[in-house]
Structure formats: C-alpha cells, structure tokens
Copies of this chain bind each other. A is one copy, B any other.
Amino acid sequence: MPPDAARRSDRSRRAILVAALELVEAVGYARLTIEAVAARAGVGKQTIYRWWPAKGPLLFDAFVELVPAVPDAVITHDLVGDLVVELRDAVVELEDRRFDQVCRALVHEGRADLVALLLMPRRVVLEERLRVARRVGEVRADADLEAAAELLLGALYQRWLLRSAPLTREYADSVVGLVMRALRP
C-alpha cells in the first residue's frame, strides 16, 4: 500500500474502533449495528466487513486497542492490601458498561476464547503477586497459585455473571480474606 493509502487506512480503522466502543456504551451490544458504526466512523459498511466478520471480533479489537491495559502487579509490603487493590480494580472493570456488554455478548456468541483473553491479564497479575508472596514465605510453598487466582476472580465473575448479589468492594475484600486463609503457611 502506498504511504498515503496506508495512513488513510489506519485512520479509518481507528475511527471504526472508536465508534464501535462509543456506540456499545451508548446503546448496548444487542442494539449495536454495523451500519451505525459505519455512519459514526464516516466509512462504508463494506470497509468494516473487509476487516471484521461480525460485531464480536470488532468490539474485541476495539477493547484491546483502545481501553488501557491492566497495570502491572502492585507489590508493596502488604500482601492483603495488594490483593484487595487488584480485586477492587476487577470490580470496577466488570462494572464498565462497555466491558460488561461486550463480554456477555461474546459469551453468547460462543467466543469465550476472546472473553478469556480480555480477562487473562488480570489473572496473570494476581498470580504474579502471589508468586512473590510465596517466594517470601507469606503463602505456603505448596499452594497452587493458578487455582488461587481463579478462586479470587471466579467469585467476582460469578456475581457479575448472575447479578446474584451486589458486586461491592466489601465483597472483594471478604473474598481476599477467605482465600488468604487457604494460602497462609
């Protein structure tokens, strides 16, 4: 592609991703149409279909490229405090309407692989923090840290998925308390 065309193409791509993310926040996934994204981005529908087969993968790319990444693990001398920070951040993320709408839709579309990719960074960060804790003896040597991270996040995801009870900061704190009991030497 000549440089000018490549620049135009980059601009269109970005405009489409921005439009998709703004629209899913405004109207929700179910009522989001490719037509509306195209109109808002100032491109033709075919331009979108050239790059993405459906709404799900388009929104996935929009997320990955536009929404700030999960920051690295916070590592202070307070393990419980650090875990609480991570879980509270996870709650804030789950309550972001864009995140919520896109994840639910991807689950339904059978693209749980994409949801897993969206959620994975948080789990990696938690495991990393627990690994440091195990190294300094705050977590027992034989603890399965992958399972522990799944336990910490699974509790939140359950409430998010089922809306069975409010997904509060206090709940995040109590999950950390319970799991830490299982992990202490």
Contact = CB atoms under 8 A, between A and B. Distances in A.
Given A144-B174, A154-B154, A119 B181 contact: no
Interface in A144-172: 144, 147-148, 150-151, 153-159, 161-164, 171
Interface stretch (A16-24, A33-41, A66-74, A100-108): A100-108
Contacts of A120: 164
Copy total for this chain: 2
Given A161-B157, A162-B115, A178 B174 contact: no
A139 to B, nearest CB: 12
A92 interface: no
Contacts of A144: 174, 178
Contacts of A110: 30, 104
Contacts of A153: 158
Kindly name the residue among A104, A112, A144, A150 whose own CB sees the greatest number of chain B CB atoms within 10 A: A150
A109 B29 CA distance: 10
Contacts of A158: 150, 153-154, 157-158
Given A151-B155, A151-B178, A161 B112 contact: yes
25 contacts: A30-B109, A104-B107, A107-B107, A108-B109, A112-B161, A115-B161, A116-B162, A116-B163, A116-B164, A144-B174, A147-B174, A147-B175, A147-B178, A148-B178, A150-B164, A151-B154, A151-B155, A151-B175, A151-B178, A153-B158, A154-B157, A154-B158, A157-B158, A158-B158, A179-B182
